[in-house]
Structure 1
Amino acid sequence: MTENFWKDKYPVGIPADINADEYPNIQAVLQQSCQRFADKPAFSNLGKTLTYGELYELSGHFAAWLQQHTDLQPGDRIAVQLPNVLQYPVVVFGAMRAGLIVVNTNPLYTAREMEHQFNDSGAKALVCLANMAHLAEVVLPKTGVKHVIVTEVGDMLPPLKRLLVNSVVKYVKKMVPAYSLPQAIKLNDALAKGRGKSVNEASPAANDVAVLQYTGGTTGVAKGAMLTHRNLIANMLQCKALMGATLNEGSEILIAPLPLYHIYAFTVHCMMMMLTGNHNVLITNPRDLPAMIKDLGNFKFTAFVGLNTLFVALCNNEAFRRLDFSGLKLTLSGGMALQLAAAERWKEVTGCAICEGYGMTETSPVVTVNPIQNIQVGTIGIPVPSTSCKVIDEEGNDLPFGERGELCAKGPQVMKGYWQRQEATDEVLSADGWLQTGDIAVIQPDGFIRIVDRKKDMILVSGFNVYPNELEDVLATLPGVLQCAAIGVPDERTGEAIKVFVVVKPGASLTKEQVMQHMHDNLTGYKRPKQVEFRDSLPMTNVGKILRRELRDEELKKVAMA
């Protein structure tokens, strides 16, 4: 299968290639867009809107503070641990303008997970929400983080509303546990100190790292995928090329319920929408459906970016079904497999078909998308421009159309490698640029691709990758556990749910509640098991490796017989 095969597979008007070197770095994209669309709304949240001009101004304040009030140097890492609030784009783009590398960090991480990521990345600074500052207090003495910036949910709002929102979050909802971080500075104070100061605009090379995005890759050890400026710009241009005919510049309103710290939402909302000057409505807590739906009612939105579980939850909500969908012309799905029933229900409720795509953290992330002009439900679409895909057998040989094999991808969006892990990089990335995805796929003769299985043991919960190794490492530290295994089992709501199997040491006793509490204390929400099963033994190979596949097959048989 030649790389030229894909050239004639694109609908009319969509180029087969993009110029990944159109911009030297993300700063150039930001500057151009913020000047060109200065008066256009960029991000809205909690009733407040930042224009592109205001975003540039505020990110400049933060960049100036970083440069003139800290000892941080270009190339240093800054962990950004924020949900979807206006502070996120201000901080991220400000950090980039100062030449720092952004380490996207899940705000729901436990202290154990934070400590690993901060130490592995060598982060020297942290921006976090006050809600998580009590964990930072515990973690930071064990890390190299020297500079801490704390912000509250309402900090970007006008003074009275800011006071109201922050007080409700802190005192009524009691969502800000007490903490002591005497070295920390409030984000608004940092912005005030940077106001009026000049920024020494960083000018990184295209192949310099812009973002460290942590993932388990194909194993359970969390690794930082090095995404360069060129990687992210390429994927921005690739997404725009496929969707540009559908979205107009400076006039679209996109709903952003997926977290910006996840590379999928980051690329769509912070990169592609910035390039096109469009308006992103940030949903801070998509689990609060009534609040989210109330927010949606304030905008005649034209695009929606989500995943299977969210589509189902919304379509089952009567208030959502009453919204005005007359402007909706694009719905994007990624992060987890789109179920046919969910796709049909969404189209029935909103009148808009869902374009499903596929990607990985290691590919910035988009590899394939269903073109809006030609959606094939049940497939992940065709490769985005300047991207080739192939499937290979266990020996690495290319396979023909229609045969199952491991999906491999090649293009300018493929990561530079894993941060300080050359061996792990070499396992998945060939010398000539092919990335092995770990997913089993079939390439149809028309170029559309179907994912049919997973080579690796990864579990996919609501679009988030969960790695059994990490869960088993945590579970093994619980006194009384002799052996353990973690697998994914089918779940209507989240795609997969986590089930753990435990063999208890002779003479010891353990309860399900003890197992669940231990996992709760050490893992963020989506990594926690929903089911626990105690066994006398677990299936193993001759050399003592637990056979997760056998456990999965047993569970699938139970589902089939139910």
Structure 2
Amino acid sequence: MSAPDALLAADPVLTKVAGPGSPFEIGEREGLRQFVAAPPDLNLLIESARRFGTRTCVVDFDSAGTERRMSYDQVFAWRDQLVPILHIARGDRVAIAMRNRSEWLVAFLAVIKGGGVAVLVNSRGSGPELLAMLEDVDPAVVLADSERAAAIREAGFTGRVLDLTKPFDAEELARRAGNAAPDAGLAKATDPCAILFTSGTTGRVKGAVLSHRNVITGLMTTQMSGMIVLGNMAAQMGTTTEALIAQMPQQASLLVYPLFHISGLGSGFLSPFLGGGKVVIMRRWDAEEAARLIAAEQISMFSAVPTMLWDILHRARIDGTSLSSLRNIGCGGQALPVNLVEEVHALCPHAQIGTGYGMTECSGAIAQAVGPEFMARPAAAGRRLSMVDVRIEGPDGAILPPGETGEIVVRGAQVMLGYWNRPEETTAVLTPDGWLRTGDVGLVDEDGYVFIVDRKKDMVISGGENIYCAEVERVLGTIPGLTECAAFGLPDERLGERLVAVVIAPDIDEAGVIEWVASHLARYKAPTRVAVTTTPLPRNALGKVDKIALRKLWPTLSGEQ
């Protein structure tokens, strides 16, 4: 029995959704499970959304704060107008540096249509951080909003920049349309599609290169998981999946994840877009505004970090705003506290709660659990998804049995091509036969649930943002007079974790240290507290700062109890 056949035989629900002849039929190619009907080019999937025509596609606010609504027809018209202005060829890299807004969505669609590779720049970065990312990939053009365009120029970028928040001259549009680049044709499945930046233990950003097949597999896996959930719901209600879908109103999702994150790009934008959903974009997180939008726009899907879930539930308790439209509430990156799950159930009794575990290098989720599956193992990060192979390896590389703890290693058609211009770092995480070392320590139980125990990477997840301690420590090390420093995370009920630091620096105080980091990196990467000391930091036998000991010393060093 082949791997796909064995997989389907083990799960009758999956058999209905992914069996022979279905849109999600699973086959084996090049030793990997793949979707038989998947197109080679992401743009072919995008084009399929034209069928939604006059249906509302996006709701957001322009630079002046005015609400705007666009249909699928209007979004495609805007995209088609932008493509010739880009004047790019197959494989050209095009950077997108904007906050979450309609222009970002249109920019991405246009880059893919034009045959380019979308380089998703962290819009929250400082000017120098933005410049470092741009210089790394050498883009043919940068698509920006006014704020990012100014920051890039001030940092010294001399390449081509288009500010999409300013209207183009009609004559320029006509001239570009008449002198458009040749049609890019279809991409090959293994062609680069997007580059998303991530950090490692060195604290230096690197671009994960995702192919068209990677991104499409990630998206179709998410869609298939949704169909499985609907299939289970239909069975419980004594109806068919088709009948259930026909009765459902248009799905509406509230986009709060940054679009330069894989969660924002995939589950926040492309997945609802391809399903004909309405994407409602917030300019910035505000619990009161989020509650208003959920009620006004009848938001049915809301995926956020625990911090935001706590905020929205607290706001609903205070002002009585209805959250009754919510049908799917998701959370990823951090485990959901039991009391948060109970609060969600109390205020949103009809909503399915879910969680997931994934990473940029895997084009999205590796494990996921929704509804009853989630409630069966609420402490898990999710259940291994059918398109991904997951194994646990010991320190010696030996494959460990279910229930034993080691490094989580994964393989599948959604695993990245590698890191842009980083062959050594690529080799360090990707084996010759395609297994990706995640750097996360965990276990997989007998039922396929994945549990995260620890991270090999020295990283803090605060409010859903990844903060790499090595990056912060490198900036701390530039403070004049500083002799020692260490950054690490502490548990925080609201943020999940908060970043703190201990420094030996005689000529600067806590506020000065925080501002120093905030002025050199994105502000969210600055420590929330800093303990300035004259005592040498504890070190282990290898001479490295002992952060376990520092955490124990933190109450004494900081005065926090």
The bucket for the TM-score relative to the shorter chain is 0.7 to 0.9
What's the secondary structure of 1:316's corresponding residue? helix
Is residue 389–residue 408 contact of structure 1 (8 Å, CA) maintained in 2?
yes
> Shift of the alpha carbon at 1:3?
7.5
Q: Distance in 2 between matches of 1:127 and 1:113?
A: 16
1:211 counterpart residue number: 194
> Shift of the alpha carbon at 1:21?
6.0
Q: Distance in 2 between matches of 1:415 and 1:549?
A: 33
> Quick one: which of 304, 314, 317 aligns to 2:315?
317
1:156 counterpart residue number: none
Which residue type is aligned with residue 68 of structure 2? Answer: K
Is residue 439–residue 457 contact of structure 2 (8 Å, CA) maintained in 1?
yes
1:98 counterpart residue number: 114
> Shift of the alpha carbon at 1:292?
2.6
Q: Distance in 1 between matches of 2:172 and 2:269?
A: 24
Using the TM superposition, name which of 358-367 and 264-273 deviates more: 264-273
- Tell me whether 1:78 sits opposite 2:94 in the alignment: yes
1:224 counterpart residue number: 207
Q: Distance in 2 between matches of 1:11 and 1:191?
A: 59
2:173 counterpart residue number: 193
Flag structure 1 segments of 5+ consecutive residues without an equivalent.
153-185
> Shift of the alpha carbon at 1:251?
2.1
Write the deviation string for residues 276-330 of structure 1: whole angstroms up to 9, x where unpaired.
22211111212x2222322222212221111111000111113787344443221
Q: Distance in 1 between matches of 2:392 and 2:428?
A: 16
Q: Using CA pairs below 8 Å that are at least 6 residues apart, which structure has the higher relative contact order?
A: 1
1:547 counterpart residue number: 546
> Shift of the alpha carbon at 1:128?
2.0
Is residue 25–residue 229 contact of structure 1 (8 Å, CA) maintained in 2?
yes
| Inter-CA distance 403–138: structure 2 relative to 1 (3 Å threshold) | same
Using the TM superposition, name which of 85-94 and 6-15 deviates more: 6-15
- Tell me whether 1:149 sits opposite 2:162 in the alignment: yes
2:135 counterpart residue number: 119
> Shift of the alpha carbon at 1:63?
0.6
| Inter-CA distance 403–133: structure 2 relative to 1 (3 Å threshold) | same
2:59 counterpart residue number: 44
1:38-437 to structure 2, matched below 5 A, reads 38-46=53-61, 47-67=67-87, 72-139=88-155, 141=156, 143=157, 145-152=158-165, 186=166, 188-189=168-169, 193=173, 200-202=182-184, 203-246=186-229, 248=245, 251-286=250-285, 288-318=286-316, 322-351=320-349, 352-375=351-374, 376-437=377-438
Q: Distance in 2 between matches of 1:211 and 1:552?
A: 39
> Shift of the alpha carbon at 1:188?
4.0
Write the deviation string for residues 424-455 of structure 1: whole angstroms up to 9, x where unpaired.
01111111111111111121111112112222
> Shift of the alpha carbon at 1:385?
2.3
Using the TM superposition, name which of 417-426 and 126-135 deviates more: 126-135
Aligned-pair identity in percent equals: 26
Q: Distance in 1 between matches of 2:334 and 2:111?
A: 30
Q: Distance in 1 between matches of 2:10 and 2:482?
A: 53
Flag structure 2 segments of 5+ consecutive residues without an equivalent.
20-25, 27-33, 62-66, 231-244
| Inter-CA distance 292–59: structure 2 relative to 1 (3 Å threshold) | same
> TM-score scaled by structure 1?
0.85
Which residue type is aligned with residue 395 of structure 2? Answer: E
Using the TM superposition, name which of 467-476 and 288-297 deviates more: 288-297
Q: Distance in 1 between matches of 2:7 and 2:553?
A: 40
Give RMSD over aligned pairs: 2.7
- Tell me whether 1:22 sits opposite 2:38 in the alignment: yes
> Shift of the alpha carbon at 1:134?
3.2
Is residue 382–residue 448 contact of structure 1 (8 Å, CA) maintained in 2?
yes
Q: Distance in 2 between matches of 1:3 and 1:389?
A: 14
Count, aligned residues: 515
Using the TM superposition, name which of 56-65 and 3-12 deviates more: 3-12
| Inter-CA distance 464–127: structure 2 relative to 1 (3 Å threshold) | same
> TM-score scaled by structure 2?
0.85
Which residue type is aligned with residue 101 of structure 1? Answer: V
- Tell me whether 1:499 sits opposite 2:500 in the alignment: yes
> Shift of the alpha carbon at 1:91?
0.8
2:526 counterpart residue number: 528
| Inter-CA distance 306–503: structure 2 relative to 1 (3 Å threshold) | same
